[in-house]
Structure 1
Amino acid sequence: MDKRWFKYAVCCFIFLVAAYFLLSRTTRYHIDHSEVIVSPVSTKSQAEYYAFGYQPELKYSETRRPCRVRYPLKKAFFGDLHVHTAISADAYPDGTRTFPDDAYRYAKGAPIALPVPEGIPPLSVQLERPLDFVAVTDHSEAMGEGYICRNEGKFPGYSSKACETFRQGGQPGVRVFMTETARMRPKRNRSVCGKNNEDCEKASRIVWREMIESAEAAYDKTETCSFSTFVGYEYTRSTNNNHLHRNTIFKNASVPDLPATFIDYPSLQSLLGKLETSCRKDIEACDVISIPHNSNLSGGNAFNPEALRGYSKEAQQAHREQRNAFDRLAEITQHKGTSECQNGFADILSDEDEYCNYEAIRKIGKPDKAIDLSTYIPRMYDVITKECEADDMDPKDNFYKGYCLSSNDFLRGALLEGLSEEDHHHVNPFEFGIIGSSDTHLGTPGQTDEASWSGHIADETTLEGRLGEAELGRNNKLMANPGGLAGVWAVENSRDALFQSMKRREAFGTSGTRITPRFFVGHYPADLCKRKNWLYLAYQNGTPMGSKLSSQTENFQLLAQATRDPHPSAKGLEKLQIVKGWLDHSGHKHIKVTDIAKMEPANLTGDGMLCAVYTDPDYDPSLNTYYYLRVAETESNRWSSAQCEALPEVDRPEGCINNSLKKIRELAWTSPIWLIAAEP
């Protein structure tokens, strides 16, 4: 080769490398600090502060028969508020063929068929114990595209290359539409959606109407009140592969004409503003909550107090009010892991917590793959997960990069950050109650039993598939778990009763078991647990989980009680723990976990129940503080052990030899109770 051409080639190579280095690290989309943020001003968005013994009257917002049985002291109802079917554009290409009607039938106890690999006999699954309530929350993004690609002859886009790839399935089929949710500025596929996205909007309206009709048909409006459904969807913001998804749950079937999408509302503030105007203000019977989920995969961004850095003070305050008004609950566990806490964060002063790494799939020091789609040229790279620092925040888009891990990725840390926000701005944007759910993509709500779990997506429906090599994100396989359940204390099983309690945060989450925990703050005698009317006195002289009160200058007590899962195969309760979080006078964050009752004869109040009255000796009324109750069962087999051990040794797949935990403790978490110090 001529030396001049060689030098030219070398120069071109160096130029291309330099250009890639520059363009793959240059932020493409800058944040718009002039964006208008809609404050939550409707009556339905007014902040609710609860006094001791507060109990609002239940009123129906829809036409239905009154429930025959009402529970004045509340009953625990179990459900799943995170369920996907074939409508979701990441489920259908995988092989899922269950739709909302099937998911609701399954939740009521009917069998449904699961997709299985070719050559595997048909597989049918059925819940042993039906659920009390369910919301099908298919992804709003690509809802119309999926309909066009599934239904020949309905729209011209059916014949597009994108739809062809979608129908062929597998990872390429999933990525054809869902990859857009990982971009800073997602777009629709014009070959599918047509001019001005008109076809996709029409198709989305068809799907949305069918989802509403399915929920209405499955809802028991008779006086029996055996099963409730909620109309909902998932808003799927996955910027740079960080999960900032939200489940949108409406109180009834009076809902907007279309679900909101990340494509149309690319910022959280625009989404919540849309929910305020299109539902709470514009439709008299409409109310809605927005549930953040899977924050352990958010890379520091789900509960980031700096998300609106650079905006006006008024805009930032409006957003804090938005989150307080709409984020009434948060998901603490699902199949992609548990988001309660993790040990070792530098910004939280705490002893090591024995349960903090329960079903954790992201850890500091763990190798992971990071993606950056916010730059001019996307790049994928390997990282050793580290704790988020100030220089990980990109000020051009107010986003943490590099797939770091923050204490605010976990609900315990986010709750502490909320106390700090309240201290400085008089509004707590991270003041949420707690639930669990499954995030099934098979249309199998509530399938959370370790021994019989059939996986999360289609290629996990065999044991070999569940035990396979994991990829963080969708294909979690061995790292995954069956997910959890949402528990709600309500006076009856109707939409209005359940939604009222969810909005008031009288809710709890479990890791899949049906433990029923109670948690109150009030003025209680030490022997309350031994009194027959203890529950009546608990409400009469106090207020339940989810409540927010001013700091208490007089002595008060925390009442904690839990009943074991009544199923014969369920383990008994091991202990009750109070988790306390507070800010000291210097603003430092603290956590303390205290065992207040163990399964000993002196603590038993009946068959399988634990109860304790606890006075915090270190409570300081001048400090913002929260408490929640955590309940632990005795040790049991994790699904990966239970399902392998159920087979003869010669029939066990190779994946049965693995490094996952063999034993777990099923957990339950109540919503917190906040005690907020008065201004000096």
Structure 2
Amino acid sequence: MKTRALVAALLLAGTTLAGCDKVGKALGGGKPADVSETAYPERVYWGDTHLHTANSVDAFGFGNRLGPEDALRFAQGEEVTSSTGIKAKLARPLDFLVITDHAEGMGSTMALYNAPRLLIRDPQVLRWYDMMHEGPEQSVAAMAEILAARAKGTLPEQFRDPKASAERTHNVWNSSIDTVERYNQPGKFTAMLGFEYTLMQGGNNLHRNVIFRDGKDKVSQIDPLDPTNELTPDKLWDYMDAYQAKTGGKVLAIPHNSNVSNGLMFMMTDGSGKPMTAAWAKRRADHEPVVEVTQIKGDSEAHPFLSPNDEFAGYGTAGWDIGNLMLTEAKRPDMYAAEYVREALKRGLALEQKLGVNPYKFGMIGSTDSHTSLSTGDENYFFGKHSGNEPSARRAMSSQSLGTTLGRFGWQYLAGGYAGVWAKANTRAAIWDALARREVYATTGPRMTVRFFGGWDFTGGDLKSDWVKAGYTRGVPMGGSLPAGKQGKPSFIVSALKDPDGANLDRVQVVKGWVDAGGTLHEKVFDVVWSDMDKRKAAGGKVPAVGDTVDVARASYTNTIGAPTLSTVWSDPEFDPKVRAFYYLRVLEIPTPSWPAYDALRFKIQLGPDVRVKAQERAYSSPIWYTPAA
């Protein structure tokens, strides 16, 4: 074998951590049929649909040495040791997890790291190899260079051999499937199969997480799809259609991190910039029923530029609205409308009015996008975006944490989020079905219990009886559509309970969006129920601030303000039966410390004046839509 071919084989079809995971106890074996489903969802299940292990090209390059088994053990509540040697254990295990390692370059940096140095002839590859072996900071720097070369299309040949790459991906993928299967325990803990389709036009983030409803018998018949040379999501949808035709299985895709797409995620055109057709709009809606609205790399619900009258818009935008994902293009204000979810929901109404189909009729979830294999969403237990950003005395200071001049990779990271799923059982099928029907919601980390029903005859009296049953029998849950042709105004059952281990609630708001007959988009935020309503009287359309008990020096707060639970039945006072509209909940906690404040206390450091030390964390429900009768 020639030296070049040997090196390529070592780099691209080499050892995988998935295959080297220590042997764990065989936890699986239960069948979904063994778990009975309830008549309607009775509890919310908490999970993460976006987690990377050392099998992801960037995660390993950034120092992650934990494979899928470690990720699953951690999510189930077991103690693991992080890549930087820190003992880690969730105080509250998750109910489900989807490992979504990048399809592109799956296992490639791990293979490079494990290759014999003397066989590496390309000087650039050898330089990266040496940097990765010098320590965490140099490994991070090497990975930054690899990603930059990928964005420019200048990766060395060893990283571009399609045959060897496909072989390596196949091996890593099937090893990971076997690990996930062992840890899937229907009724107790759901381990789902998925991958990330890293679609990225010149650094503009158009990534999707691909989630399967099925197990090994079907998913092992295909390999993840590499999007390296693609510019639009159409090939992904072709792949999904082909999977379903071949196996009889089901699969959906979740767009994520739209805030760094530089105006490409939610366009008024199709993916190539041509006028959107009804067929294209339907195709997107069918394949992508949910979006990831909040995660480590910022929050994409609303931006102050788009929603200047919303005092709570702009959560988690600091540092993320300066450019695209790779900072290869600066951000312009005209890009925001195609990046933020509230505006996308409004655009969907306008497109439906024109085409008869709404491409952006999606639900909302949160997830972490952690590249440490550790799914953590709590401010007081944030393990970072990547292994170079695990707990340390300097990670909160942006440029120092990566050893670069980039200005948003420190305190600008958020600690969350999580996906709340109203499913009929803790199984792959039930959780996937809930995602598909959009009966899900997002939080920035806290595990608040949020329910939202829309109907035509709900009254305050319903809250005194079995209002959940009433919601399902006389209305539709979050993610649903109100039937048209009814008389009167729609009414909504609103309920939010605080995280049992977290902060009290400040308020619950209904966010309404609509499009008028002329095609103009509108929005309004209604405060519908809040704590101490007898004392905090609304004035000028605004509810006074709840107060602030945060002690930054002690990284603490008290639940002496706010309320543990808030509920009401609300009717839209401005309802027009001729106008398309959507409604979703935004639930706000009282102010609490952010993770840099906990770091400052733990490591006894002084934070800069610009560092975020407290915030009002929140939840976003999936919308309920109203469409006038034809």
User: TM class, shorter-chain normalised?
Assistant: 0.7 to 0.9
Instruction: After superposing the two structures, state which structure 1 stretch, 171-180 or 322-331, moved more.
Output: 171-180
The residue that corresponds to 2:410 in the other structure is 477
User: What is the TM-score when the length of structure 1 is the normalising length?
Assistant: 0.77
- 1:559 lines up with 2:493 in the alignment: yes
The Cα shift of 1:105 comes to: 0.4
The residue that corresponds to 2:332 in the other structure is 386
> Residues of 2 paired with 1:306 and 1:369: CA distance?
20
Aligned counterparts, 1:347-366, within 5 A: 352-362=309-319
The residue that corresponds to 1:207 in the other structure is 172
Aligned partner of 2:81 among 113, 123, 128: 113
**Which SS does the other structure have where 2:205 is aligned?**
coil
The residue that corresponds to 2:614 in the other structure is 663
The residue that corresponds to 1:79 in the other structure is 47
- 1:637 lines up with 2:593 in the alignment: yes
Aligned partner of 1:216 among 158, 176, 181: 181
The residue that corresponds to 1:173 in the other structure is 142
The one-letter code of the counterpart of 1:454 is F
**Which SS does the other structure have where 2:333 is aligned?**
coil
The one-letter code of the counterpart of 2:176 is M
> Residues of 2 paired with 1:247 and 1:187: CA distance?
26
The residue that corresponds to 2:237 in the other structure is 272
The residue that corresponds to 2:566 in the other structure is 610
Aligned partner of 2:96 among 133, 153, 157: 133
The residue that corresponds to 2:297 in the other structure is 336
User: Contact (CA 8 Å) 2:421, 2:434: kept in 1 or not?
Assistant: yes
> Residues of 2 paired with 1:580 and 1:344: CA distance?
18
Unaligned runs of at least 5 residues, structure 2: 1-29, 133-138, 536-562
The Cα shift of 1:178 comes to: 3.2
- Larger Rg computed on CA atoms: 1
> Residues of 2 paired with 1:281 and 1:74: CA distance?
33
The Cα shift of 1:494 comes to: 0.4
Aligned partner of 2:514 among 582, 595, 602: 582
User: Contact (CA 8 Å) 2:60, 2:110: kept in 1 or not?
Assistant: no
- 1:539 lines up with 2:502 in the alignment: no
> Residues of 2 paired with 1:325 and 1:629: CA distance?
24
The residue that corresponds to 2:349 in the other structure is 419
> Residues of 2 paired with 1:464 and 1:483: CA distance?
20
> Residues of 2 paired with 1:465 and 1:251: CA distance?
41
The one-letter code of the counterpart of 2:354 is H
> Residues of 1 paired with 2:613 and 2:485: CA distance?
44
User: CA-atom RMSD, angstroms?
Assistant: 2.8
The residue that corresponds to 1:95 in the other structure is 63
User: What is the TM-score when the length of structure 2 is the normalising length?
Assistant: 0.83
- 1:387-443 alpha-carbon deviations (Å, 9 max, x no partner): 22xxxxxxxxxxxxxxxx322210000111111111111111111100000110100
The residue that corresponds to 1:652 in the other structure is 604
Aligned partner of 1:598 among 518, 525, 530: 530
**Which SS does the other structure have where 2:394 is aligned?**
helix
Aligned counterparts, 1:99-498, within 5 A: 99-116=67-84, 122-146=85-109, 148-152=111-115, 161=123, 164-167=126-129, 168-169=131-132, 170-175=139-144, 177-179=146-148, 182=151, 189-192=156-159, 194=161, 197-221=162-186, 225-253=187-215, 254-255=218-219, 256-263=221-228, 265-277=230-242, 279-284=243-248, 286-308=249-271, 311=274, 316-345=277-306, 352-362=309-319, 383=330, 385-388=331-334, 405-445=335-375, 447-470=376-399, 476-498=409-431
**Which SS does the other structure have where 1:406 is aligned?**
helix
Aligned length: 559
Q: Percent identity?
A: 28
User: Contact (CA 8 Å) 1:308, 1:316: kept in 2 or not?
Assistant: no
> Residues of 2 paired with 1:597 and 1:99: CA distance?
45
The Cα shift of 1:304 comes to: 1.2
Using a 3 Å threshold, how does the CA distance of structure 1 residues 473 and 524 change in structure 2: closer, same or farther? farther
User: Contact (CA 8 Å) 1:235, 1:261: kept in 2 or not?
Assistant: yes
Instruction: After superposing the two structures, state which structure 1 stretch, 251-260 or 630-639, moved more.
Output: 251-260
Using a 3 Å threshold, how does the CA distance of structure 1 residues 495 and 161 change in structure 2: closer, same or farther? farther
The one-letter code of the counterpart of 2:228 is I
- 1:190-244 alpha-carbon deviations (Å, 9 max, x no partner): 33554xx2211111100110121111111004xxx11001111111122222211
> Residues of 2 paired with 1:552 and 1:545: CA distance?
20
The Cα shift of 1:369 comes to: 8.3
Query: Quick one: higher RCO (CA 8 Å, sep 6+), 1 or 2?
Result: 1
The residue that corresponds to 1:4 in the other structure is none
The one-letter code of the counterpart of 1:359 is G
> Residues of 1 paired with 2:192 and 2:229: CA distance?
23
Unaligned runs of at least 5 residues, structure 1: 1-61, 117-121, 373-379, 389-404
The residue that corresponds to 1:15 in the other structure is none
Using a 3 Å threshold, how does the CA distance of structure 1 residues 193 and 455 change in structure 2: closer, same or farther? same
